[in-house]
Amino acid sequence: MADLLPSLSPLAWAFCLISTMVAAAFQRITGQGFGMIAAPLVALVAPHMLPTALLVLGAVVGYRAMRADFSAVNLSELPAGMAGRALGAVLAAWLAGALIGSGSIGIAIALVVFTAIGLSLAGLRLAISRLSLFVAGLAAGLMGTLTAIGAPPMALLYQHEDRKRSAAMQNSFFMFGMVVSFAALFWQGLVRLDHIGFAILLAPAVFAGLAASNIINRVLGDFPARPIALGLAGVSASLLLIQSLS
């Protein structure tokens, strides 16, 4: 049994459960936020579980969120982005062995989050085309496989689209990306039993977060959820960077 579960204190387990629940809720609402919120928070107490455990959970979050808004998914836009994501995941898997499990994983995650926040706030308007989808997918594959934060490049493309369409498309790419990134790490022998056990125990928090997203949506009304998600991600990354450098 010891091989199936990481050794964490009850407080650390509670912290991971709450972090995962909040991250899942904002992923459902905005199409981004799961990795940006959950990765730096989980890395504070269980860095050795990243990125693999969050990739497993992210696939579940992405599937449930995409299914809820499937009518807004444009299937013709998926192939180019998915091709880029798959290529990025394969390239990142070759580099992952040097990063995963090392002390630099926390710094890498924090820097990716800060970069993602900067891109989100830049207000860039990029045309959605096969080329831009492929390039965004490639960047997402590299980032997601190394740190479990792969949503920002696609979020940059879809940030000016209708809220429902934006979330549906981002969650579609997010779900696929989590699966191919996990497969790439498995191919490199970087998936352990305790990663899977950790993900299984956190799964109820994912479903709780997805359920809570409906309540949060009603409470927020027309108020945009993205600034809240970015704020949480920024605070989380700052705490992680401070810890990693201390």
> DSSP assignment of 134-183, as one string?
HHHHHHHHHHHHHHS---HHHHHHHTTS-HHHHHHHHHHHHHHHHHHHHH
What per-residue confidence (pLDDT) applies to 1? Answer: 46
pTM: 0.90
- b vs e for 42-61, b when ≥16 Cβ sit within 10 Å of the residue's Cβ? bbbbbbbbbbbbbbbbbbbb
State CA 34 to chain mean position distance.
Answer: 4
Mean pLDDT of the chain: 91
**Whether the Cβ atoms of residue 154 and residue 105 lie closer than 8 Å to each other:** no
Q: Give pLDDT tens digits for 47-61.
A: 999 999 999 999 999
Give the SS3 label for residue 100: coil
Output the pLDDT for position 99: 72
Question: What one-character DSSP code corresponds to residue 196?
Answer: H
* pLDDT digit string, tens, across residues 115-128: 989 988 887 888 99
* Contact yes or no for 29/217 (Cβ under 8 A): yes
Query: What's the burial of 8, exposed, middle or buried (CB within 10 Å: 0-12/13-18/19+)?
Result: middle
Closest of 85, 89, 143, 141 to residue 111, by C-alpha: 143
SS3 (DSSP) at 69: coil
Does residue 170 or residue 94 have the better pLDDT? 170
**Segment 32-48 mean pLDDT:** 94
- Angle, CA of 64, 51 and 195, to the nearest 5°: 85
CA distance 76 to 71: 13
Closest CA to 140 of 11, 16, 36, 63: 36
Alpha-carbon Rg of the chain, whole angstroms? 16
Q: What is the pLDDT of residue 58?
A: 94
Contacts (Cβ under 8 Å, ≥6 apart) of 196: 4, 53, 56
Cα separation, 61 vs 35, in Å, equals 11
Q: What is the pLDDT of residue 142?
A: 93
